[in-house]
Structure 1
Amino acid sequence: MRMDSQKKIVKINVGKRIALVENIPEGLNYSENAPFHLPLFQGWMNLLNMAKKSIDIVSSHWDLNHTHPSACQGQRLFEKLLQLTSQNIEIKLVSDVTADSKVLEALKLKGAEVTYMNMTAYNKGRLQSSFWIVDKQHVYIGSASLDWRSLGQMKELGVIFYNCSCLVLDLQRIFALYSSLKFKSRVPQTWSKRLYGVYDNQKKLQLQLNETYSQAFVSNSPKLFCPKNRSFDIDAIYSVIDDAKQFVFIAVMDYLPISSTSSRRTYWPDLDGKIREALVLRSVKVRLLISFWKDTDPLTFNFISSLKAICTEIANCSLKVKFFDLETENACAIKEQKNNTFPKLNRNKYMVTDGAAYIGNFDWVGNDFTQNAGTGLVINQVDVTNDTSIIKQLKDVFERDWYSPYARSLQPTKQPNCSSLFKLKPPSNKTVTYNASGKDP
């Protein structure tokens, strides 16, 4: 595309704003200078407070009420949604058919439109998508679902776009695709043209985000849910890794390149192979930050060892892996008689490179991409040195977690040293609000 055409497009799409949002569970402490961003709860409440006409939400879980002390934010979110149903705001919600949710039933009784997707019938999978669309102008996409744990015990990460109707138009088509499957037990052989993608990895939306020139598009999974011009999540991830010149930083809860059925498990090379290619053929530095928790598959360690082995005798091959281990913190919380039933867990699902970011709904597990419904977001930026760059902000978050006391090379279980964790600085509880200027005070 000619530069004058680029300038014309950027001029049309100025004034768009993006904010990184996180939920940092109480008790997770970082160093004094560690970066923190808009709290997830506050970001979601900002969106609900801005709503004038419509709210569309896709979520894998709908459990906002609980007696646990950390469930208060989930309850407040539920109360706000109930309040909005009586304010002439159209509310449409999508969930997996397996969800047995009193929250959804209560919202439905108040007038919300609820669509249940039968992913088991479509693809023997389940719904894992998590995104919001408000007034066809504002968007949230990230790891968190409408579950009180996502606002309490879970470490979550996502982004909110403000005043970005072009991106909304594309994401709205994914929402419409889900809605079109209501009452259907199978996917149509051909999709309506109204569900075709607007932007993809070959034709990206060009815009300014926080005054930084950017390109963006949304992707979808499984491939069955990718009509014409819609990028498959795997292809979106490939485009980000292929464009990386210096480094690829990946943060996921689970890393398991396996495709499983009821009778067998087979190697799934799609993402694992792409990492090996970047390491060996292009000498790109790779860092993997994987959550360590009670359900971590033992085979994860085999695959990590295999990845490490390819760098032992190859020059300029740089791979490091750490596990974000909150088991010690959980053990200490139990010892202090806190959080004795719901352990904390890092559920981040993103990748950042020297020029791009991918934020999705999946862990890097074979069945997630091949069977489950999920959505991804790719953002490319050239100037990543500016503090307003979302790429720089995401890289800083990765490095904050990478160098934190919770990230470690896995070692044999030791007696938890609780005192060392309590000396660090907790995240700031400063209230951040969205205002008309588009800046957080």
Structure 2
Amino acid sequence: MGLDGAYAQPQRPHGAALFALLSVLFLLTLLLLLHPRPRAADAACEDGCRIVLVESIPEGLVLGAAPGPSTFEAWLGLLAKARHRVDIASFYWTLTNGDTRTRQPSAAQGERILAELLRLPGRGVAVRVAVSAPSPEAPLDDLRALERSGAAVRAVDLPRLTGGVLHTKFWLVDGVHLYIGSANMDWRALTQVKELGAAIYNCSCLAEDLGKIFEAYWALGVPGASIPAPWPDNYSTSINAETPLETTLNGTAAAVYFSSSPPALLAAGRTGDLEALLGVVDGAAAFVDVAVMSYVASTEFSRPERFWPAIDERLRRAVVERGVRLRLLAGCWPHSRAAMFPFLKSLAAVADNRTGYAVEVRLFLVPASAAQSRIPFARVSHTKYMVTDKAAYVGTSNWSGDYFERTAGSALVVAQPGAGAGTFRERLQDVFERDWSSQYSVDIGDSQSWGSRCGPR
């Protein structure tokens, strides 16, 4: 039909034709009321979401090409996209040299991020920050500057509520974009610490679901807050391990969900972080590759210290009962827990004495110059992820008991079984292979290479 036909004046219906037309209109109206059309934001999820693996590579660390942008580039891009609101869940804030009492040129990236955040309220963008209740010695300058700019900041007193901290690290932008990963709101997390995360774009379904976790933190950030039992229905979700979001990521089919910890903060339908992690291990048919800063089969901070074999036992079960190949790459720095190394050696010993079990354990050593070694709490692999032949798991928690029982954390689980060019799971696998085979990876049995650099002196 041409333009003339499309805009032709319609003829007035008569008699039976009018009755038929009114009947059809009534039925159409009833169907629309019973089955409302999705909003434009929801349609974006149906059309597919875009996911990008992002990393922080410490200055001086020479690795192969990164598969995606840096954490700094991803954060800067998210801030540029912000039009309405930015919500950030965070452990602490040290984005400037002033916060760490340093004079490092590499702090410029963190200072740029803070400057862009401070500009947002002036652009009409609402900013909310949920942060772990700071300790008396924690720097507060960044948070106070945010409040002065017009941002809303709430400190969540998890030490009182659960005996843990708010260790989560994620961003939500305009209800459609997000970041989740290991990077703290710290300039060192951009240039001096090895980090890994995921940025997801144009994905309102996932952003809305992660937003429910943020809203729980926000609700707990008011003075005298208590943890509801049960959580109200508006915090609940139907996106979980049993019924993940079936969508496409970068054009490839995927099943996706967010998990959370500790159990007290789980609303109805939310998969617990430990349950999600163990589920990914249990689902592996061929291999499990893990890169995590801290791996301890006990509690680290609660007293008395308790044996906590939940993850360790499940990994060993996968190796022994299903013949899964396990490789674990742990972080190494002077602040590593002394107990970590015997647990790692014990796990590696499963492959001793010609058992035929495929287990390897290594440490990742970030080199440091004399100047870099003086930067406090830097030069370490801080990543917290796992990749198997079936799924990718990107978390915010170290692997020991306190993080899953008392501390607020979250994780992204992406199931993408089988081969597919450029899937998120395969990109994560490529990163693990790059780091595992790099010059910075040393066997746990080679104590001469790491003994003087890892753990307390």
Give SS of 1:38's match.
Answer: coil
- Which of 272, 275, 298 pairs up with 1:235? 275
Give SS of 1:346's match.
Answer: coil
Counterpart residue type for residue 176 of structure 2: Q
Q: Which residue of the partner structure matches residue 61 of structure 2?
A: 28
Give the conservation status (yes or no) of the 8 Å contact 1:55–1:134. Answer: yes
Cα deviation 1:238-296 (Å, max 9, x = unaligned): 11111111000000001101025664222101101110110111110000000111022
- Which of 110, 134, 139 pairs up with 2:178? 139
Q: CA RMSD in A?
A: 2.0
Give the conservation status (yes or no) of the 8 Å contact 2:119–2:149. Answer: no
Q: Which residue of the partner structure matches residue 297 of structure 1?
A: 337
Give the conservation status (yes or no) of the 8 Å contact 1:121–1:186. Answer: no
Does structure 1 residue 17 correspond to structure 2 residue 17?
Answer: no
Q: Which residue of the partner structure matches residue 118 of structure 1?
A: 157
Q: Distance in 1 between matches of 2:341 and 2:411?
A: 26
Give SS of 2:61's match.
Answer: coil
| Mean CA deviation greater in 183-192 or 244-253 | 183-192
Aligned residues: 399
Q: Distance in 2 between matches of 1:79 and 1:87?
A: 13
Q: Distance in 1 between matches of 2:412 and 2:43?
A: 19
Does structure 1 residue 385 correspond to structure 2 residue 425?
Answer: no
Q: Distance in 1 between matches of 2:450 and 2:82?
A: 49
Give the conservation status (yes or no) of the 8 Å contact 1:170–1:197. Answer: yes
Could you tell me how far 1:313 is from its partner in structure 2? Answer: 5.2
Cα deviation 1:396-423 (Å, max 9, x = unaligned): 000100000000114344699xxxxxxx
- Which of 225, 230, 240 pairs up with 1:190? 230
Alignment of 1:262-301 (within 5 A): 263-301=303-341
Could you tell me how far 1:382 is from its partner in structure 2? Answer: 2.6
Could you tell me how far 1:69 is from its partner in structure 2? Answer: 1.4
Does structure 1 residue 108 correspond to structure 2 residue 147?
Answer: yes
Cα deviation 1:191-217 (Å, max 9, x = unaligned): 110011230100100111011100100
TM-score between the two structures when normalised by the length of structure 1: 0.87
Higher relative strand content: 1
Counterpart residue type for residue 51 of structure 1: A
Give the conservation status (yes or no) of the 8 Å contact 1:18–1:209. Answer: yes
Give the conservation status (yes or no) of the 8 Å contact 1:384–1:391. Answer: no
Could you tell me how far 1:365 is from its partner in structure 2? Answer: 1.3
- Against the structure 1 CA distance between its residues 50 and 111, is the aligned structure 2 distance closer, same or farther, given a 3 Å change threshold? same
Alignment of 1:16-415 (within 5 A): 16-31=49-64, 34-66=65-97, 67-98=103-134, 100-181=139-220, 182-260=222-300, 263-312=303-352, 315-326=355-366, 329-330=367-368, 333-334=369-370, 337=371, 340-342=374-376, 343-386=378-421, 388-410=422-444, 411-413=446-448
Give the conservation status (yes or no) of the 8 Å contact 1:143–1:158. Answer: yes
Give SS of 2:276's match.
Answer: helix
Cα deviation 1:127-186 (Å, max 9, x = unaligned): 100000000000100000111111121111000000000111110100111111122343
Could you tell me how far 1:368 is from its partner in structure 2? Answer: 1.1
Give the conservation status (yes or no) of the 8 Å contact 1:121–1:185. Answer: no
- Against the structure 1 CA distance between its residues 341 and 223, is the aligned structure 2 distance closer, same or farther, given a 3 Å change threshold? same
Q: Distance in 2 between matches of 1:61 and 1:126?
A: 10
Q: Distance in 2 between matches of 1:198 and 1:100?
A: 39
Q: Distance in 2 between matches of 1:77 and 1:374?
A: 23
Give the conservation status (yes or no) of the 8 Å contact 2:302–2:402. Answer: no
Give the conservation status (yes or no) of the 8 Å contact 2:290–2:328. Answer: yes
TM-score between the two structures when normalised by the length of structure 2: 0.84
Counterpart residue type for residue 112 of structure 1: A
Give the conservation status (yes or no) of the 8 Å contact 2:295–2:400. Answer: yes
Q: Which runs of 5+ in 1 are unaligned?
A: 1-8, 417-441
Give the conservation status (yes or no) of the 8 Å contact 1:255–1:290. Answer: yes
Percent identity, aligned pairs only? 35
Give the conservation status (yes or no) of the 8 Å contact 1:75–1:148. Answer: yes
- Against the structure 1 CA distance between its residues 246 and 57, is the aligned structure 2 distance closer, same or farther, given a 3 Å change threshold? same
Give the conservation status (yes or no) of the 8 Å contact 1:308–1:319. Answer: yes
Q: Which runs of 5+ in 2 are unaligned?
A: 1-41, 98-102, 452-457
* Structure number with higher relative contact order (C-alpha < 8 Å, ≥ 6 residues apart): 1
Q: Distance in 2 between matches of 1:306 and 1:156?
A: 26
Counterpart residue type for residue 160 of structure 2: A
Could you tell me how far 1:302 is from its partner in structure 2? Answer: 1.5
Q: Distance in 2 between matches of 1:297 and 1:60?
A: 20
